[in-house]
Amino acid sequence: MTILTYGGGCAFQARTAGPLQHGPRFSRWSDRACLNSGSIHYVVVIVRPEDTEITQLAFAARRGDRTALERFIRATQRDVWRFVAHLADPKLADDLAQETYLRALGSLARFEGRSSARTWLLSIARRVVVDQIRAAQVRPRHADVSDWQAAAERVQQAAGFEESVVLEELIRSLDTERREAFVLTQTLGLSYADAAEVCDCPVGTIRSRVARARDDLITSMRDSDTPRRRFA
């Protein structure tokens, strides 16, 4: 944990990684904490060590270090793949992840480190998925059933599968905005501030979407007679 001092205002970066929990003031639920002492604001900045390393690799890759570029891709490819697989058809995840890196490499020279490189990369991944969805909407659909209905049917057929598999299906049945907020914060471990940057919306909106996603998941599991698990 690092403490920075400012003469005014309040700035912050990412929060710590670790198990989801309530209680400690600087847990995964906290994005920042500003402690006033006279005219000086003490700002607690909690940085994920892996995010710092990934950002350093991105800067090195921008300078032409091919080894750093390879390490950057290896360090981030799992998160990118999981993110796009949750937002789009998992069968397209490989292609979407590849397109994400192609766009990232084309934009790497303009990366300035205003956010972590991982946040920047996931923002690109989100735009790739949005573009894919828009392109798919232009093409004629062959299915007569809506996406959420298909997801619900898959959940009903999953009674004999492990709970984790059922949960994946339930997450897919979430509203798109709630799903991406939930995946970013609860699956990939981004702070609410970083998730808000990826989704280009206020932090409060991310908090609201995550809370509603939890409610939706609990309701879906209850309705499908799936063993309940806590999301708190």
What pLDDT does 22 receive?
31
Residues in the chain predicted with pLDDT less than 50, given as ranges, are: 1-46, 142-149, 151-162, 226-232
- Burial call 210-231: b when 16+ CB within 10 Å, e when fewer: bebbbebbbebbeebebeeeeb
Helix, strand, or coil (residue 85):
helix
For 12-54, the pLDDT digits (tens) are: 333 333 333 333 232 333 333 343 444 444 433 345 668 899 9
Paired with 107 in beta bridges are none
- Res 4: pLDDT: 32
What is the pTM for the complete model shown?
0.62
Amino acid 40: pLDDT: 41
Amino acid at 75: A
β partners of residue 129: none
Task: Tell me what pLDDT residue 135 has.
Answer: 83
DSSP 105-166: HHHGGG---SS-HHHHHHHHHHHHHHHHHHHHHHSPP--SS-HHHHHHHHHHTTTTS-HHHH
Domains along the chain with CATH numbers: 2-45 (no CATH), 54-138 (1.10.1740.10), 147-223 (1.10.10.10)
